[in-house]
Amino acid sequence: MSRLGPFRVKEGFEYKKTVASIEALANRADLISRGARPDTYFGQPPDGISYDNLITRAYRHLESLERGELPLEGKFCEPGGSCSDHSVVVVGDKVHLFYTIDSIGYDWPERYVHYIGHASSTNLVDWNIHKPAVAIHPEGHEVYQVWAPAVIHHDGMYWMFYTGVNYNVSQATVLATSKDLYNWERYEKNPLYYPTKWNKWTQERWFDNRDVMIFKDNDTFYMYFYTAGLREDGSAFPACGVASSKNLVDWKDETLIELGCKYACESPFMVKHENKYYLFYTDCGKGTSYAVSDNPLGGFEVKGLLIGDENHVGDTAHVPSCSEVFEFKGKWYISVAERLPGNEQYIEFMRFYWNEDGSVSVGDFVREPV
């Protein structure tokens, strides 16, 4: 901490963010060294939340600062936080980012995700952090945690769909609306949606219904989300669920899209380009993958891994994830959030390209203002 002192007084968001991350890593390592036992919903210590890993990462960041480097440059999160699922909203020359935020050094069951954050930028590098958009609420399904926002503009209003989680980790889609992206009002009839066609939703136990994304095609809205289907023998399988609506309020179950994921196909994101439907998703254990179809409801051909490692070893969650594709200032970008062991996670941006053969590819990370 004494070595960190000179960097606390330096100006600029990059120093503030990096100092806060080092402090969070070191403080958690200190608690573990004093006997604190990392806890998790799954009954075993989460990947990387150990004294050795946390203190090693803290020193690595500190030594980079001492060499005159900025080790977290171009990586966004609120200082001291860990950012994962997010939604990108482009309004003119400004990008608004809404994101799930939890704590470095803690798994989500131990330090709850209490609110969804909001930041904005005109260049994808320099960010202004605003007040939280929404938070957990004592009277509703989102009483325990809130995850994975998805924001869409329609009929003069911004609509934020996100995952509400109760104390049983039952997940349902909830809604808030805003006229200006800064002030949000919860929908009075939450939870808005949960699937019933392929699996019997219940509030009494863990139920996978999260990471919602809203896509408009002609006069129909489609909701894509991670869920679990049931086979005839009662076993569950990971899938992308789809529901449809004409008004963003009344939703009906449509279908399940199986993408061949071994563990989970989280954070689906749909883009239509030249009459083809591109479905991006997190293939847990590998990274960001994509599939292509002529139909938003099915027939997807899996094209494979776009960002990540086919041979990843370790916690299946610690891979590039939560990607969204968007156009800004005449160029295309893709976001990605890779959670590092120890629950240190930042949102980054890469150049994105539509190729002539119908495939897609990524370029360099954004490290300079665009």
- Provide DSSP, 67-130: TT--TTTT-B--TTEEEEEEEEEEETTEEEEEEEEEETTS-TTTS---EEEEEEESSSSS-EEE
Q: Are strands 287-293 and 265-273 parallel, antiparallel or unpaired?
A: unpaired
pLDDT of the residue at 210? 97
State both tokens at 200.
Answer: 């019997």
Distance CA 163, CA 71 (A): 32
State both tokens at 365.
Answer: 């990370």
Residues 6+ apart with CB under 8 A from 173: 161, 162, 163, 164, 191, 192, 193, 194, 209, 212, 223, 225
Residues 79, 48, 125, 285, CA torsion sign:
negative
Of 89, 115, 90, the C-alpha closest to 102 is 115
Distance CA 183, CA 185 (A): 7
Residues 6+ apart with CB under 8 A from 144: 112, 136, 165, 166, 167, 169
**Domain residue ranges in the chain:** 5-66, 81-365
State both tokens at 13.
Answer: 């968001």
Distance CA 129, CA 138 (A): 25
Distance CA 87, CA 42 (A): 27
CB 53 within 8 A of CB 122: no
Distance of CA 346 to the CA centre of its chain: 10
Of 223, 196, 228, the C-alpha closest to 209 is 228
pLDDT of the residue at 318? 85
* Number of other residues whose CB lies within 10 A of the CB of residue 338: 20
CB 151 within 8 A of CB 89: yes
CB 239 within 8 A of CB 263: no
pLDDT of the residue at 229? 86
pLDDT of the residue at 206? 93
pLDDT of the residue at 46? 73
Per-residue confidence in pLDDT tens, the chain, 370 aa: 999 999 999 999 999 999 999 999 999 999 999 999 887 777 776 778 999 999 999 999 999 999 999 999 999 999 999 999 999 999 999 999 999 999 999 988 888 899 999 999 999 999 999 999 999 999 889 999 999 999 999 999 999 999 999 999 999 999 999 999 999 999 999 999 999 998 889 999 999 999 999 999 999 999 999 998 888 787 889 999 999 999 999 999 999 999 999 999 999 999 999 999 999 999 999 999 999 999 999 999 999 999 999 999 888 888 999 999 999 999 999 999 988 888 999 999 999 999 999 999 999 999 999 9
Q: Which fold has domain 81-365?
A: Tachylectin-2; Chain A (2.115.10)
pLDDT of the residue at 297? 98
Secondary structure class of 44 (helix, strand, coil): coil
